[in-house]
Amino acid sequence: MAIVTEKSQTRLLEKIKECLDKLNEKMEVFIELQKNEQKPENLLPGLPEALDVMTLLSLPDHLRKTAITLCKLGEATADEVAENTKRARAVESGYLNQLVLMGYLKKERRGRKTYFYVEK
Amino acid sequence: MGKIIAVHSYKGGTGKTLMSINLATTLVAHGKKVALLDLDFRAPSLYAALKTNDSEYWLNDYLNNVCEIKRTLIDLTEKYDFKNGGQFLVGLANPHTEAIRDMGAKDRKWEMRALGRLLALKNSLLNDMELDYIIFDTSPGLQYSSINAIVSADIVLVVTTQDTSDTQGTKRMIQELYDLFDKKALLLLNKTLIGTTSFEKEKNEIAKHYESLHTLPVLEVIPCFCDVLRAGGTIMFVKEKPDHPFAKIVEEIAGRIEKI
């Protein structure tokens, strides 16, 4: 029988939390997509889009707020965006992931955090 | 932390440049550190108004990622003999035809990067150089350079007149631009025809009318002054005519902005 030390237990729990976070993020995207009745394939353009002001103007209100905040921050996690917009982290995560699918943003995982940014 | 103010209007010729120069210099006279930037790349005007073009680089170069913002700034504090600890920095748009043509032919990706460069001024000028205000003199209407300026600004001063087409365009612009970007915008009613007998009463009536029409607060109602028009838009009241009623009005406006 394996001896479960406190340390390995913590590691295991961290791993589970990380997996749940990833799962949560994916779920948020699907919930968001369903809300807007858009299929993922419709959101994947052939070429990456530029997030210029005219594009910002054409975005729906909820996504525009998220996109402008990210433009101002340059690079940010869903937590940092949520802090600025005063909306829930899960909501911002959903919107950010939707903007990634639309080709306006990029995301990168560093350690346990996911950073969103506008491609220069 | 300092603030970015964009001076904008729907139509040209409403008095943006005159207001930008006078607001900037009045704030400098109050001891503030101010950078006045000409973001009207289609029709640059600050170089002519301030009779200076001895910068090493233009703002065009900054947006083209050729140089840092500091290299575009000309310090006019001594030239205009500002004391009181204020600093008057100016960044110019390149007035050469080729440069104007070049700026008009940029693609969306470039405009996106230009927005990033404007947003970065908060760090470089307000944080690092500790300026109190950046004032953008923008191009009129709804085009890339002015919308980029508006998105990067903390406060938008909308200069408007009693002209019917300007009023209608301004109303649309407020609903379809400022509101969408959640911008703090304030109206400056310029060139108004106010009689001298019941000045305050008329002024209040005009302010009330435009406030309800545009659903934005009116910062000031400015009468039309013949000598302002005669000066060709280049007069720096705080230095040249400090006792002129226009100078007093800008003084009021600057005071209100400092309280925001």
CATH number at residue B99: 3.40.50.300
Q: Do B151 and A51 touch (CB under 8 A)?
A: no
- Look at residue A106 in the predicted model and tell me its pLDDT: 93
Name which of B63, B65, B109, B112 to mutate to probe chain A: the one with the most chain A Cβ atoms within 10 A of its Cβ.
B112
Of A53, A64, A68, the CB nearest to B111: A53
Interface of B with A in 54-113 (CB under 8 A): 107-109, 111-113
Interface of B with A in 164-223 (CB under 8 A): 176-177, 180-182
**A24 CB-near residues (< 8 Å, 6+ apart):** A90, A93
Contacts of A120 in chain B (CB under 8 A): 113, 116
- Look at residue A90 in the predicted model and tell me its pLDDT: 94
- Look at residue A32 in the predicted model and tell me its pLDDT: 65
pTM check: above 0.90: no
Of A53, A65, A118, the CB nearest to B151: A53
Contacts of A53 in chain B (CB under 8 A): 111, 115, 144, 147-148, 151
Q: How far from the centroid of its chain's Cα atoms is residue A29's Cα?
A: 8
B184-228 residue pLDDT tens: 999 999 999 887 667 788 889 999 999 999 999 999 999 988 888
HEC sequence for B197-215 = CCHHHHHHHHHHHHHHHHC
Residue A39: pLDDT above 90? no
Mean pLDDT of B232-240: 83
Q: Do B111 and A55 touch (CB under 8 A)?
A: no
Residue A4: pLDDT above 80? no
**B103 CB-near residues (< 8 Å, 6+ apart):** B41, B42, B60, B94, B145
Q: Do A52 and B181 touch (CB under 8 A)?
A: no
Count structural domains, chain B.
Answer: 1
Q: Do B180 and A51 touch (CB under 8 A)?
A: no
Mean pLDDT of B47-74: 91
Contacts of B123 in chain A (CB under 8 A): none
B235 CA: distance to closest CA in chain A (Å): 34
User: What is the domain partition of chain A in residue ranges?
Assistant: 6-117
Average pLDDT of chain B is 93
Residue B82: pLDDT above 50? yes
Decide: B7 and B154 in contact? Cβ < 8 Å: no
The CATH code of domain A6-117 reads: 1.10.10
Q: Do A50 and B108 touch (CB under 8 A)?
A: yes
Q: Which of A16-30, A89-103, B84-98 has the lowest mean pLDDT?
A: A16-30
B135-193 residue pLDDT tens: 999 999 999 999 999 999 999 999 999 999 999 999 999 998 998 998 999 999 999 98
Q: How confident is the model at residue B43 (pLDDT cuts 50, 70, 90)?
A: very high
Q: Which DSSP state fits B122? A: I
Burial class (CB in 10 A: 0-12, 13-18, 19+), B40: buried
| Chain A residue closest in CA terms to B149 | A53
CA dihedral in degrees (B91, B92, B93, B97; nearest 10)? -160
> Does B10 contact chain A (CB < 8 Å)?
no
Interface of A with B in 18-77 (CB under 8 A): 50-57, 61, 64-65, 68, 71-72, 74
